[in-house]
Structure 1
Amino acid sequence: MNTQDREVYTVGSKSFTAVAVNTAAKAGEWIKSKLGSHTKLAMKTSSHDLVTEVDKGSEALIRNLIMTHFPHHSFLGEEGVEPGAEASAEALEAHRDTEYLWIVDPIDGTTNFIHGFPFFSVSIALAYKGEPIVGVVYDPSRDELFVAEKGKGAYLRGQRIEVSGETRLSDSLIGTGFPADRSALPVNLTGLQAITPQVRNVRTAGSAALHLAYVAAGRLSGFWEIGLNAWDMAAGALLVQEAGGKITDTYGTPYSLSVRNVLASNGKIHDEFRETLKQADALGYS
């Protein structure tokens, strides 16, 4: 990496990654302190797409901390966007020419949070000219903070992480999820029916950002989901890439912020993984 690339990560003496890490940790601890005490529950698009005042408070906390350090940067947070795929695409398009864009999911796994199921996370990414260069996913329940910088690797608790070594789908543990947009559910279930007999087992725990972090850490061999948004994946995508894995859309196109149907793996099983979904006609929906 040349000197010009390294300069991307700081403004003056302020490290983008340090700000992302500190912000995620503060938001995560605040979220954890609210477990079981949220008072307002609202639906977005359906009873499966939920938001609490904790989501909104977490996003406000994150936004305030980041903007304090980088007031001229742009910010895209889940709670600032109207529900639905079209609104998500429009929000991303509005930032197409933005130099520095922070992409945030203040609680990825809100349904888990509401039920007290300890699998939710704070996801913070920074994109430079449309490409993630910093990604942080923090799991407050386990106090696990996954960090990646473009070109510098992925880390957990200061130790470098790598994707798993499985070379066959049959030896793999795969993750998936069921999106809030229930129009995507049939194709997700079709994919699940096709994948399950071909793998060691499947896990669906309800936070795409954490699932991607688990692929990066070698805990899952791969992950796919239909109908996600940029804030679900931006940080996790960089983690997977920097840990030596591969992330594309379900059709095999390289990952970008506009991807909605995602396929991530250790790289070694990627083609077999995608082909299994393709044969089941489970790559996407219209």
Structure 2
Amino acid sequence: MTDSAELRKLAETVASTVGREVATRREGGFSFTTKSSTSDVVTEIDTWSEDTVVEMLSTSRPNDGFLGEEGTSRSGTSGITWVIDPVDGTTNLLYNLQGYSVSIAARTEEHVIAGAVFDPVRDELFSASRGQGAWLDGNTLAVTPITDLSIALVGTGFSYLAEQRRAQAEALMTLLPEVRDIRRGGGAAIMLCEVASGRLDACYERGLSPWDSAAGVLIATEAGAITHEEELVYAAAPGIAKPFAALLQTMGA
């Protein structure tokens, strides 16, 4: 086992190095295709990013396991598995919008212990170590002190599948009158980091994969958010967490 702070530093280095090259490659042009639906895009940059992240991590830690969105699945012997989203928010990458990231988390059998999320557009690096706090470019993160759900700015995301998107849109009709407003910015990793940094008061999304949320949930939790990570993933400032969770249940999020 390696100290979580060491794993965080490695994740920071790899995520920022690969993330900056992702931005460079995006400007140079790229090809893309789709996966589960026409909304579910994958580019050659995604596959290059995952391959490079795995190569860099393997060089430092050859006995670790890997789980990546674009197909990497490798068992290790160290007790550490790296969970990788090489480009979280690929649609935003495709349209050259802010909101995509490189997300890397280190987990044991029990829980995620370190993670980093790099935003190539803003050149921002979010990271956390379990039990040690969360940071944005070295500065300590903390969620907002909000206590009134009616003035909360809430982030969300939508499924790639048409029927699920329809149900999610209907659920928003219950949410919108109860909060200040909603935002749908891009990938889940950045959205969770925006709760951690106080740019959002809460967020939620259903149907995420482990690589979508592993690093972001840790970062939000270490910044003080109340988080939930099952079929429905959410993060909220403590002062609104209970009514927010109740609202999500009422609206069938």
- Answering whether residue 246 of structure 2 is matched by residue 275 of structure 1, we say yes
- Answering whether residue 234 of structure 2 is matched by residue 263 of structure 1, we say yes
Runs of 4+ in 1 over 4 A off after TM superposition: none
Which deviates more from structure 2 when the two are superposed, residues 186-195 or residues 202-211? 186-195
In the aligned structure 2, how far is the partner of 1:201 from the partner of 1:60? 38
TM-score (norm 2): 0.94
- Answering whether residue 56 of structure 2 is matched by residue 71 of structure 1, we say no
Structure 1 residues 13-68: Cα deviation after superposition (integer angstroms, max 9, x where no partner): xx212211110011111100012433321110111001010000000110000011
Q: Cα distance, 1:187 vs. partner?
A: 3.0
In the aligned structure 1, how far is the partner of 2:102 from the partner of 2:231? 19
Specify the alignment match of 1:28 in structure 2.
19
8 Å contact from structure 1 (residues 31, 54) kept in 2: yes
- Answering whether residue 170 of structure 2 is matched by residue 190 of structure 1, we say yes
Tell me which of 30, 42, 49 is aligned to 2:33.
Answer: 42
SS in 2 for 1:220: coil
SS in 1 for 2:121: coil
SS in 2 for 1:34: helix
Alignment of 1:1-286 (within 5 A): 8-9=3-4, 15-80=6-71, 99-248=79-228, 255=229, 259-280=230-251, 282-283=252-253
In the aligned structure 2, how far is the partner of 1:107 from the partner of 1:155? 21
In the aligned structure 2, how far is the partner of 1:275 from the partner of 1:171? 16
Q: Cα distance, 1:98 vs. partner?
A: 7.9
* Identity %, equivalent residues: 35
TM-score (norm 1): 0.83
Structure 1 residues 133-168: Cα deviation after superposition (integer angstroms, max 9, x where no partner): 001111011111001000110011211010111111
AA aligned to 1:174 is: V
In the aligned structure 2, how far is the partner of 1:155 from the partner of 1:181? 34
AA aligned to 1:239 is: I
Number of aligned positions between the proteins:
253
Structure 1 residues 96-139: Cα deviation after superposition (integer angstroms, max 9, x where no partner): x9821100100011001011112211100000223100011110
8 Å contact from structure 2 (residues 30, 45) kept in 1: no
Structure 1 residues 186-225: Cα deviation after superposition (integer angstroms, max 9, x where no partner): 3321322211111111000111100000001111110011
SS in 1 for 2:231: coil
SS in 2 for 1:124: strand
Q: Cα distance, 1:9 vs. partner?
A: 2.7
In the aligned structure 2, how far is the partner of 1:77 from the partner of 1:231? 7
- Runs of 5+ unmatched residues, structure 2: none
Which deviates more from structure 2 when the two are superposed, residues 190-199 or residues 148-157? 190-199
Which deviates more from structure 2 when the two are superposed, residues 121-130 or residues 52-61? 121-130
8 Å contact from structure 1 (residues 123, 235) kept in 2: yes
AA aligned to 1:187 is: A
In the aligned structure 1, how far is the partner of 2:103 from the partner of 2:94? 18
